[in-house]
Amino acid sequence: AAGIRLRGVSKQFRVSHEKPALVRGLLPRLIHPLRVERHWALRDVDLEIDPGSSVGVIGPNGSGKTTLLSVIAGITQPTTGTVQVAGKVAALLSLGSGFHPELTGVENIFLNGMLLGMTTQEIRKKLDAIVAFSQLDGFLDAPLQTYSAGMQLRLGFAVAAHTEFDVLVIDEVMSVGDAAFQAQCLNTLLAFTRAGKTLLIAAQNAEAFRPLVDRA
């Protein structure tokens, strides 16, 4: 059985051009009738990925990469078509996803870990390892809104790296952070591939994941 199998998958979004409620109230004469456009982010996608393989998805902004990964991760449902994924999925889709800016780093580790399917007991057991991986020991009592983009990546990747999963989907986050942490992430992902995990990585160019993938 395939690790990931998509058949005829399409995803449509409704994009509203309605003006904000405050503007409607203040300037009722200037408000046009509600306009809603239908945007197809994905159209009739067929994709099959073998268990334990690593695949890259390349495309510019707006090409549907994030939507594809969100559908595979079960975060959003396709408008049409079928999605089959063998095993548990972990997703690292964007900086700050699954985090709350007003919570501390430690609190966000628990929040994000639970969203990825871990229990609080499991997170407590892995907390020291997550903190060590993130290299953010001195900042974990500060709210996330004080973190730089690179620090948020460290935290998000550290939590995802300590989650039990069969399939990992990653969306355009490998280019953030310093060279040392990028190398740490790369080594961790290579260890996942050696352990037989299925990886799906999206980026705007192949250089971001060339050492990791079997095909793109």
> What digits encode the pLDDT tens for the residues 142-182?
999 999 888 888 898 899 889 989 999 988 766 666 778 87
> What digits encode the pLDDT tens for the residues 87-113?
999 888 865 667 898 999 999 999 999
Question: Does residue 9 surpass a pLDDT of 60?
Answer: yes
- Rounded CA-CA distance 74/64 in Å is 15
DSSP assignment string, 126-167 = HHHHHHHHHT-GGGTTSBGGGS-HHHHHHHHHHHHHTS--SE
- Rounded CA-CA distance 153/172 in Å is 11
Mean pLDDT within 179-195: 87
- End-to-end CA distance of the chain, in Å? 20
* Angle at which helices 105-115 and 120-134 cross, to 10°: 120
